[in-house]
Every structure is written in C-alpha cells, then in structure tokens.
Amino acid sequence: MTTIIDGNEIADQIRADVRECTHRLDDEGVTPGLATVLMSDDGGSETYVSMKQQACKEIGIEGIHHEIDPDEPADVLFDRIDQLNEDPAVHGILVQMPVPDHVDKRTVLERIDPMKDVDGFHPENVGRLVAGNARYKPCTPHGIQKILAAYDIDTEGKDAIVVGRSDIVGKPMANLFIQRDESGNATTTVCHSRTDDLAAKTRSADIVVAAAGVPEMIDGSMLSEDVTIIDVGITRVDADTEKGYELVGDVDFESAKEKASAITPVPGGVGPLTIAMLMYNTTKAASLQSGVPVDLP
C-alpha cells in the first residue's frame, strides 16, 4: 500500500507551532516582521507574494509589502533593501525572484543582512549550512526534512538521489542529506541535466527528491520498489479540464505510485511546507534579533 503524503496536514501543524511562538514573542513586546519586495509584473510572482502575506496574517507576523516598478534602476531596489536592513521592525526580508534582467541576482542576495535573510540564500548562511551550523535552512529543503520526519522515513544509511542542482532546492537538499544529523546521514548523489543514464541512478535510490522543473521526467520504470518519492516540481500543462490545464510534478504520479512506499502529490505535497517554513524562519529571526527565546519545533 503506497502512502500518499499529505503536505497540508504537516504544514498546518507547523503553522500551529509557529503561531504559539509568535504569541510568546508578542507577550514580550516583539511582533515578527516580514518584508516582501516585488520588482516584477509577473502574475505568478504576485500570487506567491500574496500567499506569503496571507500566511503572515494567519500566524501573527506583521507582513510589510513593497513593490518596485521593474523598469526602475537596480539601485532603487538596493536602496530599499538597505532601508529594510536598518528597520528594527523588520526581522526577515524576502525579495521575490525573478528580478529584472538588469538587476544582478547575486548582488540582491548579498545585499540582504544575513540575520534577516529568511530564505537562507546569503553566502554567509549558505556557508553555515554547508558547515553543519545552519542559521536558517532554505524553506523547501527544510520542509522536505519535516515531511520525512512526520512520516518516520529514516534517512540514515539510505541512498538518496537529488535530481536538480538549483541553489534553492537541489544543492541545499543534498547538503542536508549528508549532514551528521538525525535527519541526514544519507549517501547522496546529485543528478542534473548532464547526468548520463539518469534512470540507472534513480533505480538505485531509497529516496528520490525530484527538483529539476521538468514535468513528469521520472516515471515508474526509473524507480525501485518501495522507494520514497519527494516531488518538488510543479508545472502547468494543457489538459482537457474545466480550467484548460492541470498541475503536474517532475514525477509521473500514476506510474510512480505503483513502485513507491510513500510519495508526495502535486499539488498538496511539498508546496504547503515552503510557506510554512518561511513563517518558521521569520519567527526564528525575530527571536534571534530580539533575544527572546522561543521553542520552535
């Protein structure tokens, strides 16, 4: 019997735990503040920011949203980040990607105060993660760890394959898997667009994290029996539905679930955890910056 992992249920529990921590901070006169910055007219980006702001309201975090015309010079964005770095009411800063082509993404990430980098992408925070002393774990990989823990899926000694090498998911996920930690200790391989014979690699895995952004690139023939599948991908594809499309992951769900012991659906699997862990990181940032301890799970 294949277990279909319910990401919404796990995310709801994390939000409830985080809400208790925001109440504890509030009792000490500290309201966690998350500033989102949007320099894009992309509809998808606007939706993501709106979802993050809504999550703030539900949990007790002060959401502060800033919009910058995408035609403005890069310095306008950098100046806004500098202002937010200096604002004591702002504990976390999130610049929604992508930014316009004339704005250097790496400079954006480096401009954010590492203490307020709740995405965990500043070079200082990346270094701390690799060294095994993370300040803020990137939200999606951390959410995946929460999924595995919630379903008692042990990683120690297991063969884990991460398909995708992005800075957002693939690289940090691989680093977390190899940490000397109860949620790590896995023998980890990172596969990507240049990997030769991907199917041979994925068939050897106990755990597959698919995060390449290629719809349904992995099917049941590429998997071993009783594998755990964590599908991070989400792509809109044309379909004969009322909306005219459907959302699919990087894994062909129907064929893969015939092999899997546990699998995340798309949607409703990994996605809800990403925003929940952003709330987690923002609350942790408020605790670190205020000196008020909280008991985050």
Residues 208, 202 contacting (CB under 8 angstroms): yes
Eight-class DSSP state of 257: T
> Which candidate in 96, 145, 179, 289 is catalytic?
96
Question: Coil, strand, or helix at residue 246?
Answer: strand
What is the b/e burial string over 51-78, where b = at least 16 CB atoms within 10 angstroms of the residue's CB?
ebeebbeebbbbbbebebebeeeeeebe
To the query of whether residue 75 is one of the catalytic residues in this protein, the response is no
To the query of whether residue 119 is one of the catalytic residues in this protein, the response is yes
To the query of whether residue 96 is one of the catalytic residues in this protein, the response is yes
- Quote the CA–CA distance of 66 and 37 in Å, as a whole number: 5
Question: Coil, strand, or helix at residue 10?
Answer: helix
Please give the full DSSP string across 40-107, using - where no structure is assigned. ---HHHHHHHHHHHHHHHHHT-EEEEEE--TTS-HHHHHHHHHHHHH-TT--EEEEPSPPPTTS-HHH
The phi and psi torsions of 187 (rounded to 5 degrees) equal -85, 115
The phi and psi torsions of 225 (rounded to 5 degrees) equal -70, 140
Helices (H), the chain: 7-27, 43-59, 74-86, 105-111, 123-130, 139-150, 170-178, 198-202, 253-256, 271-290
What is the b/e burial string over 84-94, where b = at least 16 CB atoms within 10 angstroms of the residue's CB?
beeeeebbbbb
Distance of CA 277 to the CA centre of its chain: 7
> Which candidate in 113, 117, 119, 252 is catalytic?
119
Active site amino acids: 52, 96, 119
